[in-house]
Amino acid sequence: MENTSIAPLLDVRNLATWFYMPKNLFSRKNDPIRAVDRVSFFINQKETLGLVGESGCGKTTLGRTILGLETPVDGEIIFSGKKIAGAGTALKAKDEKNLRKRMQVVFQDPLSSLNPRMNVMDIVTEGLLEFKMIKKKERADAARRLMGVVGLDKDAIYRFPHEFSGGQRQRINVARAISLNPKLIICDEAVSALDVSVQAQVINLFSDLREKYGLSYLFISHDLSVVSNIADRIAVMYLGRIVEQGRCEDVIFSPMHPYTRALIDAVPVAGKEKQQKMPLSGDVPSPLSPPPGCTFHPRCPKAMDVCRKTFPDVVSSGVIGEHRVACHLY
């Protein structure tokens, strides 16, 4: 780590979020779905962590837990040196509200995350009014300023979400997220619904805002190419666990975990010399009945006996600098 003396902005330790299926007549046992299981990572100030994984791996649940929208069953979350979730934390309503100011979110679907009955000015200044950061008569000015920051027409503040295109709507979402000057923005598949040419615009907007306001991002996406473009560090998730994390270049160019390798291999790259690929066999197992041992072993080309029995520990595995992997191979 470069700045060992400075505490990370977000420190997640051994976090676990489980869901219990409702009991009914037919289910005898009530095993939890371990959507997020013993996950540890950190995000430094002004740093972007890319969180990659396939659908159902728990990346969205992890994001929601950090936002306080889900309650973890174990582990702790420390944000700006203050414990915000975990055993023994009972946040006061006021503290929880203040947390919103410093941690914001941008969701995948830009239309459904905007209230169709509110005009853009009301949408982007609602937070500012709630926290009494502006007076009511200042809201048009504040809205115009925010629209300018995200590259939208300043005179469009009285228009409604349906009047904008997908890329513009996502810019409105970004404007709302940055309105309170947050430290951390969680982007949950924030560019996945956009077409390539517009996607590039929004990715560049995220990069610009990071420079301008010193933001940190947790950038959640299934698209490794997008993540590799914006992230300083990458964490790869599979079935509720982080299987590998490290600096972007390390993870992309010298992946250690067989799953990360398969993910990278599976991305079609235009213009690259075609090579014979070995796609992973099988599907992601159901999180309701994950395989014993390492959850990746049924699809792993290098699975050994030990993989079928115990889940590899991240700490005891090979650690090269910041590059951590949970795999028995190391």
Partner 1 sequence: MPLLNVENLTVRFDTDDGPLTAVDGVTFCLNAGESVGLVGESGCGKSVTALAIARLIPCPPGSIESGHVYFNDQDLLRTDIRTLKDIRGNQISMIFQEPLSALSPLLRIEDQMIEAVFFHRDMSRGDARLFVLDWLSRVGIPDPEERLSAYPYQLSGGMQQRVMIAMALMMSPDLVIADEPTTALDVTTQAQIFALLSRMVKKRAALLLITHDMGVVWETCDRVVVMYASRVVETGGLKDVFFRPAHPYTRGLLAAIPSLSRGKARLSEIPGQVPSPLAYPDGCHFMDRCRFAFDRCKNEKPALFEVGEEHMAACFLVDQKREKSRAVPQGRGA
Residue 270 binds partner 1, judged by CB under 8 A: yes
The token pair at 18 is 């489980």
Minimum distance from CB of 137 to partner 1 (Å)?
Answer: 33
* Site size for partner 1 (CB under 8 A): 44
Tell me whether residue 177 or residue 280 sits nearer to partner 1 (CB atom).
280
Number of Cβ atoms within 10 Å of the Cβ of 6: 10
End-to-end Cα separation, the chain, in angstroms: 21
The number of C-alpha atoms within 13 Å of 92 and in the hemisphere containing its C-beta is 3
Residue 274 binds partner 1, judged by CB under 8 A: yes
CA distance 256 to 250: 9
Q: DSSP for 14-82? A: EEEEEE-PPP-SS----PPEEEEEEEEEEE-TT-EEEEE--TTSSHHHHHHHHHTSS--SEEEEEETTE
Minimum distance from CB of 286 to partner 1 (Å)?
Answer: 9
CA distance 239 to 256: 18
With contacts defined by CB under 8 A, name the span among 17-25, 30-38, 83-91, 194-202 that binds partner 1: 194-202
Minimum distance from CB of 47 to partner 1 (Å)?
Answer: 13
Binding to partner 1 (CB under 8 A) within 145-174 occurs at 165, 167-168
Residue 254 binds partner 1, judged by CB under 8 A: no
With contacts defined by CB under 8 A, name the span among 15-23, 94-102, 193-201, 309-317 that binds partner 1: 193-201
Residue 55 binds partner 1, judged by CB under 8 A: yes
Binding to partner 1 (CB under 8 A) within 96-155 occurs at none
Of the candidates 141, 178, 324, the one whose C-alpha atom is nearest the C-alpha of residue 250 is 324
CA distance 92 to 89: 9
The one among 187, 230, 234, 256 contacting partner 1 by CB under 8 A: 230
Query: Which residue type is seen at 23?
Result: K
Strand-pairing partners, residue 233, are 49, 247
The one among 252, 294, 300, 314 contacting partner 1 by CB under 8 A: 252
Residue 283 binds partner 1, judged by CB under 8 A: yes
Interface contacts to partner 1, rule CB under 8 A: 54-55, 165, 167-168, 195-201, 203-204, 207, 222-226, 228-230, 248-249, 252, 262-272, 274, 277, 279-281, 283-284
